[in-house]
Structure 1
Amino acid sequence: MELRAEAIILSIRAHGEHGAIVRAMTEAHGLQAGYVRGGRSRGLRPVLQPANMVLGQWRARTQEQLASLTVELVHSRAPLFTEPLPAAALSWVTGLTSAALPEGQPYPRLHAALDGVLGAIEAAPAARGWGTALVRYELLLLAELGFGLDFEQCAVTGARDDLAFVSPKSGRGVSRGGAVGYEARLLPLPDFVLGGGGAEWEDILAGLQLTGHFLERDVLPGRIGEMLAGRARLIARIKRAVA
């Protein structure tokens, strides 16, 4: 197996005394893992950072073998890790993608959306500039993995408009009329999820609450402690930024 492609670095794990196992997302070949010799060296540490774009070359004798990987830096987002809020956002979205996706299966829409979220964080480090993009990315990831939410019509009345809530059990939208008396049991559905455009802080946080519920239940059930701690740090930093 030999593959040469640009890729977004998702995660890096130390392996042995000096090496690292890197998981990165390509557009046409999906998530690819590889062993980088000397990956923990002073020269490669700035390159092997989550969210960086690299040109990778994977080589392996068989499909089952962990490939050896060499990388060239194409674009660095490492400076953003000096800022707490962008660092938390980059760590969460790349870590989520690494944990959720199977290896070797292409997700071109997710690749494009991930690159868009990372670019938005880079262009406007304040969460107001990328919060809605993060929510939409998480909704897309749920859909691509077969856990998409259904906003076609109200689960109670069948109405196709005025959807304002989501059932935490079925993932289906619920209209204001259909939710009467049950609002406290439902998840808010922010307007920007259906209508696009920007959003206020309250709506961004509601969107993250919505996607977080289904990510925890359907995508990360075995890794809640490990993964959702990073998400909790991100949301706490957003709330501090809002205050």
Structure 2
Amino acid sequence: MRIEGLAIICAVRGHGEHGAVVRALTPDNGLLAGYVRGGRSRRLRPVLMPGNLVHAEYRARTAEQLAGLTVELTHSRAPLFAEPLPAAAIDWACGLTATALAEGLAHPRLFVALDGVLGAVEAAPSARGWAASLARYELLLLAELGFGLDLRRCAVTGAEDDLAYVSPRSGKAVGRAAGGGHVDRLFRLPPFLRDGGAAGWDEVFDALAITGHFLARDILVDRKADILAARARLIHRLRRAAE
């Protein structure tokens, strides 16, 4: 087995005295794990950081064997780890990807979207410039794994206009009138999550509440504690930034 091309570093775990097992997202082969010899060395530690874009080459004698991996840095996002909020965003986005995806299944849209989110974190002068794209990435990941939300029509009436809520049970949109007396049991649906466009802080937090609920319920069921703690740290820092 030999696979070569661009990859986004998503997770790194020390292995043995000097090596590291790296999980990276590739555009055509999905999430792949590989062993990097000397991965904990001073030379490679700055390369093997979540969010970095690398040229990766995987080699293995059989499909069942953990591949040997060599990497060459293409674009570094390591400087972002000097700032707590960008660092938290990268940790969560890459950690979620590494935790949620099965290895070897192609998700080209997720590769493009993750690279876009990381690029937005890097380029935006404030968190408000990228927080909405992070929520949309979570929504896309849910859809890619078969848990997509239906935000196009009301679950009660079938109408496609004046959609204001999301059911936490079905993941379907609910119209303003149909929500009636059940508003306290529904999520508020921010328009950008369905239609794109700009979002204020209240809308961002509404969106993250929706995606966080379904990620915890449907994707991270047996792997909640560590990865959701990273998300909680990110949300806390986003709320402080919004004050």
Indicate if the aligned counterparts of 1:7 and 1:53 stay in contact, CA closer than 8 A. yes
Task: Give the 3-state SS of the residue equivalent to 2:110 in structure 1.
Answer: helix
Identity, in percent, stands at 63
Q: Report the equivalent of 1:238.
A: 238
Q: Which runs of 5+ in 2 are unaligned?
A: none
Secondary structure of 2:213's aligned partner: helix
Deviation of 1:226 after TM superposition, in Å, equals 1.1
State the TM-score, normalizing by the size of structure 2. Answer: 0.98
Q: TM-score, normalised by structure 1?
A: 0.98
Shift of 1:218: 0.4
CA root-mean-square deviation:
0.8
Unaligned 5+ runs, structure 1: none
For 1:187, the aligned partner's letter is F
Aligned counterpart, 2:5: 5
Question: CA-to-partner distance for each residue in 1:193-220, whole Å, 9 max, x for gaps?
Answer: 1231111101001110110000000010
Letter in 1 for 2:146: G
Determine helix, strand or coil for the equivalent of 1:28: coil
Q: Kindly indicate whether residue 155 of structure 2 is the aligned counterpart of residue 172 of structure 1.
A: no
1:17 shift after superposition: 1.0
1:217-228 correspondence runs (5 A): 217-228=217-228
Q: 1:70, 1:158 → 2: CA distance? A: 52
Count of residue pairs brought into register by the alignment: 243
> In the alignment, which residue of structure 2 is the partner of 1:76?
76
Q: CA offsets, 1:36-63, max 9 Å, x none?
A: 0110111100000000000111111100
Q: Which segments of structure 1 move beyond 3 Å, counting only runs of 4 or more? A: none
Task: Give the aligned partner of residue 114 of structure 1.
Answer: 114
Counterparts of 1:130 and 1:136 in 2: how far apart (Å)? 10
The alpha carbon displacement at 1:222 in A equals: 0.6
Tell me the equivalent position of 2:132: 132
* SS of aligned partner of 1:13: strand
Correspondence 1:189 to 2:173? no
8 Å Cα contact 2:152-2:194 kept in structure 1 = no
Contact 1:53 1:76 in 2 (8 A): yes
The answer to whether the Cα contact below 8 Å between 1:86 and 1:126 also exists between their aligned partners in 2 is no
Report the residue type matching 1:198 in the other structure: A
Equivalent AA in structure 2 for residue 230 of structure 1: A
